[in-house]
Chain A
Amino acid sequence: MQWDIVIGLEIHVQLATRTKIFSGSSTAYGAEPNTQANAVDLAMPGTLPVPNEQAFRYAVMFGLAVNAEIERRSVFERKNYFYPDLPKGYQTTQLERPIVGPGYVDLDLANGETKRVRIHHAHLEEDAGKSLHEDFHGMTGVDLNRAGTPLIEVVTEPDMTNAEEAVAFAKKLHGIVTSLGICDGDMSQGSMRFDVNISLKPKGSDTLGTRTETKNLNSFRFMEQAIAHEVERQMDILEDGGTIVQETRLYNGDRDESRSMRTKEEANDYRYFPCPDLLPVEIDDSFIEQARDSLPELPDARKARFMEQYGLNDYDAGLLSGDSKLAGFFEDAASHGKDAKLVANWIQGEFSARLNAEEKSVADSPITGAQLGDLVVRIADNTISSAGAKKVFEALWSGEKDNVDAIIDAKGLKQVSDTGALEAMVDEVLAGMPDQVAQYQQESDPKKQKKMLGGFMGPLMKASKGQGNPKLFNEILVKKLGG
């Protein structure tokens, strides 16, 4: 049987405010446990929450960036459940009147098509603390530093039909919130967490199947794997004539397996009700207009500008414009490097490969955009070969030296592009290899001839101590051998 896959996402985005949503406690990451958990965060009796204006400003900026309606009068509810890392016994969140109403994001897919994913709403809420289940004499340790950190939870419509679209949406959203500067986007520290709702239905059917929710995916790769895993699991059950149980599942990326966390039957009854400690929050037009004026360039606009300003193609512009830090790196490099296309190739090739291999983000890169730009200048003006460029890149990356020209000098990587000198070398090498020359000249298949040219390159590079310009060598060889 053929199945349609239906995917919706819920994304928790930690807002980059200095303080918590309802208290003046710091939200800085990495502090000693419970040193940023104060009376309001600990739910001490007699305390009252006072909302953080910046959290509202960030939520409004997000709403504007995803073409959404902004709710002028938003209300907080209490979502009641029992867990030790939630000291109040309820999470303060928004249910009936969330700050951000329906909106949408357009995705550019690999096949060139544009896909619109609708956003159902986004609401403000507080994060919980962290429970540590390592052994504390059979007890659980609780760190409440994170309790009360402002989040927006973005809820999409079930508009995605495969893992590629879901990941494309996730990346787009990551690009939007980091470009806005409302979230640091550091997924390894939990700044963005994805819950994936998945269901299957017979191909073409209008009736949605029963869905499961896979929670707390914190990388794009795990998200893609978790979707593939869950689709296969559901397909196996359905094709064996079974039924899907509505449940929450946890995915273990290291082992590529998932397990049930809780089924809906035993799910909490959250008993939502309006929070009596908080009055409705009213946002006026001037607040919204100020937020609109403060919007920076967003990925879509940046992509269009990259194509226009740097002459990049759609694919390169899309890849380089999504993440604001990568985009900044590209622009630093391109403003030094002149040849934007070559800069783009280096960023997507050598640079990305090294970042991935060392699990670094652009922000941790040991080389700057300006340095890469200088390197590209020397490739473009034929000072160094691409093999030499890789050596320069290595030296920059390892921090051996920080100046491109100094590295080229120190390592003797400057290639000889003086045609007269190169021609002399070619003559000398060819004179020493009469058999190969004859063989080449008797060969009628141009493909084989091209291959045979390689046999001359080794001795030539040796004769030039690795400094001959390979492109020029090639041209001279073809001319001389053909003549």
Chain B
Amino acid sequence: MTISRKDIEKVAVLARIRVDDEQVSALEKDLGNILDLVDQLGAADTDAVEPMAHPLNAVQRLRADEVTEINQRDAFQAIAPSTENGLYLVPRVIE
């Protein structure tokens, strides 16, 4: 299985990562190798194996519906780049 330049550019956009042309060429090779490896795994016969949703063979513990958190806004906002009236400010997004 190979990966195209177009695929890499699309994934980069979705992941919000800027990659230049040179990097795309290198990634084409690296990611292609990884995908080839995954393809080899595909050759294993898994017909009799139940698919797993998680590598740990365990079940999720659930929590009682009780408030355990207190208001720590000041502590969290102390490390935020920009806040106002209790809001986190981010570069403008318009739908």
Residue ranges of A at the interface with B (Cβ–Cβ < 8 Å): 17-19, 23-26, 32-39, 42, 44, 50-56, 75, 80, 82-84, 97, 131-133, 136-144, 261, 268-269, 271, 274, 276, 278-282
Contact = CB atoms under 8 A, between A and B. Distances in A.
Contacts of B88: 34, 84, 141-142, 144
* Residue with the greatest number of chain B CB neighbours at <10 A, chosen from A38, A138, A274: A38
Nearest to A50: B63
Interface in B1-33: 10, 14, 16
Contacts of B68: 19, 24
B69 A23 contact: yes
* Residue with the greatest number of chain A CB neighbours at <10 A, chosen from B16, B54, B82: B54
B8 to A, nearest CB: 14
20 contacts: A19-B69, A24-B63, A24-B68, A34-B73, A38-B69, A38-B72, A44-B76, A51-B60, A51-B63, A54-B64, A54-B65, A80-B14, A82-B14, A137-B89, A140-B89, A140-B91, A261-B95, A269-B14, A274-B54, A279-B53
Summarize B's interface: helix, strand, loop or mixed: loop
A323 B66 CA distance: 28
Nearest to A44: B76
B87 A141 contact: yes
A19 B58 contact: no
Contacts of B58: 279
Contacts of B59: 279-282
* Residue with the greatest number of chain A CB neighbours at <10 A, chosen from B16, B67, B76, B88: B88
A56 B59 CA distance: 14
Interface string B75-89: 011000010111111
Interface residues of B, number: 37
Contacts of B44: none
B74 to A, nearest CB: 10
A30 to B, nearest CB: 13
B43 interface: no
Nearest to B62: A53
Contacts of A133: 92-94
B10 to A, nearest CB: 7
A56 B62 contact: yes
Contacts of B93: 83-84, 131, 133, 140
Contacts of A56: 62
A280 B76 contact: no
Given A33-B85, A279-B58, A281-B59, A53 B73 contact: no
A19 B65 contact: yes
Contact of A141 (B10, B67, B89): B89
B56 interface: yes
Contacts of B65: 17-19, 52-55
Contacts of B82: 139
A51 B64 CA distance: 9
Contacts of A75: 53
Contacts of A136: 84, 87, 89
Given A75-B53, A279-B54, A32 B10 contact: no
B63 A53 contact: yes
A26 B67 contact: yes
Contact of A50 (B61, B87, B94): B61
Contacts of A18: 65-67
A371 B77 CA distance: 51
A443 to B, nearest CB: 71
Contacts of A54: 64-65
A288 to B, nearest CB: 14
A403 B92 CA distance: 56
A274 B53 contact: yes
